[in-house]
Structure 1
Amino acid sequence: MARVAVVNLDHVAVMVKDLDRSLAFYHDLLGLEFVTSEEHNDGPISTMTAMPGVRMREYRLRPARGVHGHTRVDGPGLTVDLIQWIAPESPQARYPINHVPSSHICFGVESVPEMYQVLLDAGVEVVSPPVTFDGEGEWHVLFLYDPDGNLIELNEIGTGTQHAHEPKTHPWSRY
């Protein structure tokens, strides 16, 4: 067992090519709440990234409200940080869902089917129509891409059900 441990999940950084276009997607379309914006120029950010002359812009967002599954998402806590690198400019790559490295962000929504229609109306690229899983209750899942090709999962959990992503015993739990 580690002597020190991770105590919370602070933020998820999402690299984007056009910060304002991404703000329209994450804020206006998905409904995340705007928290703050920042610009970073050289100094500590260059030291932290080991990249001299860094310039970047950042918008910090958070889920708008409520409780999803077993995680409280209002108030302080996890944020989504949209980051546009001005210098050095970011190359753009898009990986298949099963590619390593590749990751996705999962947001809980009130209604996956309703959000699916909103996304279609807005011309968003979705991987497939919503899928319904049955287990200890029913939940709906949808994968889509943001304007930069970042993979996003949306899920909706039926009332009184166990969340599909609750911790389980994993082979690496011995560490």
Structure 2
Amino acid sequence: MKQPFKYFLLFVLAVLLNYVLAAQVTKVDAIGITVKDMNRSLPFYTDVLGFEKVSDEQVQGTSVEQLKALFGINIRVVRLKLGDEFIELTDYLTTGGRSIPEDQKSNDLSFQHIAIVVSDMELAYQQLRKHNVEHVSTSPQTLPKSIPEAEGIKAFYFHDPDGHNLELIFFPKGKGQAKWQDQNGKLFLGIDHTAIGVSNTNNSHRFYSTLLGIERKGESFNKGIEQEHLNNVQGASLHITGYRSPAGPGVEFLEYLKPGPRRLYPPHTRADDLWFWQTNMITSDAEKLYKQLKAAKYKFVSSKLIHQQQNGVHTKSFIVKDPDGHAVQITEYVNEK
């Protein structure tokens, strides 16, 4: 290869690499959950699970209508914090979305949860029992030696008042992030990750890692009676893959190898349907990422890249669907350096 052409090719590759990296996700922010009645959901998350309210806002107008692809909406958004992580509860005041089906299972592709880290599983489980929380798991499960990547981890699935799936998780020493061993006398410590049902790990990897830039951290293959009772899926055998951006909670893929995905993500889902979660992510260049995802033929909720001005902050944002239909909101804070 002649030297001038070689240098030109390296220059082009460097420019393309910079173009991609500049547009990727820098942080997983709040996990968004759609609720039916804020006055019912808010006490559950604060009084039962120990979240603290950060903000409580009402939003309406053309920008949010275009972002959510719903006309005539007025939404109440409450931002809550647990440890270093955040969730956002959204109550649609002017429209009524559909409820989560009572027969939803953990291997439905609409499945999503947040994993709430606890310092003591038995005490946390007692707290849930005291408030008559609905079980998904038969009881808290301790994952066995046959799953070496997860050995000793304790977990329990349950429902919030709207039927959203939530998880309690306890990490023994040597498992999970080091910060989960720094308990400071608290029972509920933070959010380790949000988990989503996926039909094909490789397809989801391309979306979340290749395009969004979230780094793959590890995987495990989970099966056995403990896993079956945790997910409440008989014969469950899962390929679980963990991803993490430079900041915020992780994103975990749950691919059911057996018995396989039960139901697809509902194709005509609206943002006010209660099974609609959205994982909020921060980027330094929303427009570039919007164009890349458009070019890759992913489906969008938002009609276009949305500019919003609120409380003196200018944002650019859009909501896109991953390969299985889970919503991801990408936001750039223009005023922040």
TM-score bracket relative to the smaller structure: 0.7 to 0.9
2:259 is matched with: 88
- What do the CA deviations read for 1:4-34 (whole angstroms, capped 9, x no partner)? 7332111100111111111111111111101
Uncovered stretches (5+) of structure 1, i.e. residues with no partner: 66-72, 162-175
TM-score between the two structures when normalised by the length of structure 1? 0.78
Please list the CA deviations of residues 45-69 of structure 1 after superposition, one character each: whole Å capped at 9, or x if unmatched: 1121222211010110011x3xxxx
- Is 1:134 aligned with 2:302? no
* C-alpha distance in 2 between matches for 1:52 and 1:123: 36
On the 8 A contact 1:34/1:60 being kept in 2, the answer is yes
Task: Give distance in 1, aligned partners of 2:284 and 2:252.
Answer: 22
**Alignment length (residue pairs):** 150
Distance (Å, rounded) in 2 between the aligned partners of 1:160 and 1:96:
31
Matches within 5 A, 1:6-155: 6-63=188-245, 65=246, 73=247, 78-90=249-261, 91-94=263-266, 95-127=269-301, 128-135=303-310, 136-155=312-331
SS at match of 1:8: strand
Q: Take 1:34 and 1:149, find their aligned partners in 2: how far apart are those partners? A: 20
Please tell me the residue identity of whatever aligns with 1:155: T
Which protein shows a greater Rg?
Answer: 2
Question: Where does structure 2 lack aligned partners over 5 or more consecutive residues?
Answer: 1-45, 51-187
- Amino acid paired to 2:214: L
Partner amino acid, structure 2, of 1:57: H
Aligned to 2:234, what secondary structure does the other structure show?
coil
1:2 Cα shift?
4.2
Report % sequence identity: 17
Deviations 1:113-170 (A, max 9, x none): 1111111121111222110111212011101111111111101112349xxxxxxxxx
Matched, 1:158 2:334: yes
Structure holding more helix per residue: 2
In 2, Cα distance between equivalents of 1:62 and 1:31: 9
CA RMSD of aligned residues (A): 1.9
Q: Are the counterparts in 2 of residues 42 and 52 from structure 1 also a CA contact under 8 Å?
A: no
Runs (4+) of structure 1 exceeding 6 A deviation are: none
Give distance in 1, aligned partners of 2:265 and 2:320: 16
Q: How far apart, CA to CA, are the structure 1 residues paired with 2:220 and 2:249? A: 17
The answer on whether the counterparts of 1:33 and 1:62 sit within 8 Å (CA) in structure 2 is yes
2:284 maps to a residue whose letter is E
Matched-pair contact (CA < 8 Å) for 1:106–1:154: yes
Query: Aligned partners of 2:306, 2:332: CA distance in 1, in Å?
Result: 11
Q: What is the distance in 2 between the residues matched to 1:44 and 1:51?
A: 11
Aligned to 1:169: none
Worse-superposed segment, 23-32 or 47-56: 47-56
* Higher RCO, Cα 8 Å, sep 6+: 2
Aligned residue for 2:331, secondary structure, equals strand
Report the Cα offset of residue 3 of structure 1: 7.9
Q: CA deviation at 1:92?
A: 0.7
